[in-house]
A = this chain, B = another copy of it.
């Protein structure tokens, strides 16, 4: 019995969240309007307010839902690989693949007003670092095994995350003209081995 009710509630919520994700990512929070979300969800405007207290709540729920899905997908893929570099390679691929599949979601993390920024970022970290921690561990392990250079871990994470998010950002603003996952090999290659070929120069810069 409770399950049936739950199932209706869940269905409605999903219906709304999907419509909202679409509209928010296209228009941003401030520009999105509840009417259009309701229309897209094929529900009355009032119904949205039965399930989400405010536009703000709805927005944060959309963020949560997206981050949740992302975390699950990445962790699942990373678990399949055993080697340190394999895990990192897999994390890069899956991260890019996720944002290609859910490119709507980029807008949600990118736009957005100051008052939300903090809240959104906080959720991003809450969800994200649970798997960044896995990456962090991988980096650490790699260093212990002498496979990865000794670099300050926090710096490394910033560069790693920055590289990934930045590549996604560029893909986005360049108009999604290529397949984002196709960037994975070059990203992996540069991240792992750098761009400089000349050995003398490498040594100069590698300290």
Known: A156-B195, A196-B148. A173 touches B121 (CB 8 A): yes
| Chain A window 56-84, contacts with chain B (Cβ cutoff 8 Å), 1 for yes, 0 for no | 00000000000000000000000000000
Taking CB atoms, residues of chain B closer than 8 Å to A162 are 163, 165-170
Categorize the interface residue count of chain A. 35 or more
Option from B114, B148, B196 in Cβ contact (under 8 Å) with A192: B196
**A112 on interface, CB distance cutoff 8 Å:** yes
Closest CB in chain B relative to A96 CB, distance in Å? 11
Q: Determine chain A's interface SS by DSSP, over half rule.
A: helix
Taking CB atoms, residues of chain B closer than 8 Å to A170 are 158, 161-162, 165
How many copies of the chain does the oligomer comprise? 4
Report yes or no: B174 in contact with A112, Cβ–Cβ below 8 A: no
| Chain A window 79-122, contacts with chain B (Cβ cutoff 8 Å), 1 for yes, 0 for no | 00000010000000000000000000001001111110100010
Option from B85, B112, B152, B164 in Cβ contact (under 8 Å) with A186: B152
In the bound complex, CA of A68 to CA of B30 (Å): 28
**Chain A: residues with CB nearer than 8 A to chain B?**
26-31, 85, 107, 110-115, 117, 121, 124, 146-149, 151-152, 155-156, 158-159, 161-171, 173-174, 183, 186-198, 201-202, 205-207
